[in-house]
Amino acid sequence: MGKKYKNPPVVEALCEIFFIGSKWDGTIPGMFFDKIKADYSVKKELKQIGVGLSISPEAQQFIPMGGSTRIQFLKPDGSQLIQIEKDLIVINQLRPYPRFEDWSPVVDKMLKLYCELAQPTGIRQLGIRYINRIVIPAHTFKMEDYFKLYPEIPDSLGAMHGRFMMRLEIPAKHKGHQLIITFATTQADSPETSAEMLDLYNVYPMPPQLLAVHDLDKYKKEAHENIELAFENSITQKSRDLFEEE
């Protein structure tokens, strides 16, 4: 991301594309699987449950509702995951994370296949998300040594803090995009280390006119640039040294 690293902190990257008007039926997951099973030979079914809220003068009640069924296709080594359901495809890249230039064609290939089979009439939203786990080789450390983005505590409260979580919505470099940053403490590997999660999520919502599939590559690249910029401006050189900048 941004600069190139020998050991990038990305634990998961994903691209999610929401459609409208898909011609969906029970045969599509099977046809999709037939096209990709040479590389994604593990198939799973995930039942999703929705919850409705009923409010009456006497009581408030949560009511279980029927949810959608999501089909997952995994590589045997677990490094990539493709998920599909009606009007949605998600392409997940886990460790080891390649360069964006290597992962992006996988997204394009799966998008093309989904569109050929489900024939959606348009795309209503694109989401690109990068989840980074940054391990600091110390139990205690100064946040400003490794990060430019961090919680600040006034001296009147002791100027120290333990576990934390921050969520920010910030302007994106490219117009029309929404960028959400979640920065939080996560589980450390050992008592001698610390770990922080830097979750960067870029959304391109439905514009006044529905996105055409051929427009998607432009917005995908813009979303990645937004995330790239946010990442590099959230860390210091000391963090880059941990990732072994090339």
The residue range of the domain holding 87 is: 10-45+68-243
Confidence class for position 60, pLDDT limits 50, 70, 90: low
Query: Looking at the domain assignment, is residue 55 inside a domain?
Result: no
Rounded to two decimals, the pTM is 0.88
Q: Strands 178-185, 194-204: parallel, antiparallel or unpaired by DSSP?
A: antiparallel
In a domain, residue 3? The reply is: no
Residue 88, helix vs strand vs coil = strand
Is residue 56 predicted with pLDDT exceeding 70? Answer: no
Are the C-beta atoms of 50 and 65 separated by less than 8 Å?
yes
Number of structural domains (the chain) is 1
Q: Report the pLDDT value the prediction gives residue 59, as an integer from 0 to 100.
A: 53
Residue with tokens 């995009």: 177
Residue 122 pLDDT = 87
Of 26-40, 151-165, 177-191, 219-233, the least confident: 151-165
Confidence check: pLDDT of 159 > 70 = no
pLDDT of 119 = 94
Average pLDDT, the chain: 88
Look at residue 197 and tell me if it is in a domain: yes
Handedness of CA 246, 223, 78, 34 (dihedral sign): negative
Question: Residue 63: inside a domain, yes or no?
Answer: no
Question: Which 3 state secondary structure label does DSSP give 233?
Answer: coil
Q: What is the mean pLDDT of residues 203-231?
A: 86
Reported as type and span, the H/E element at residue 128 is strand 122-136
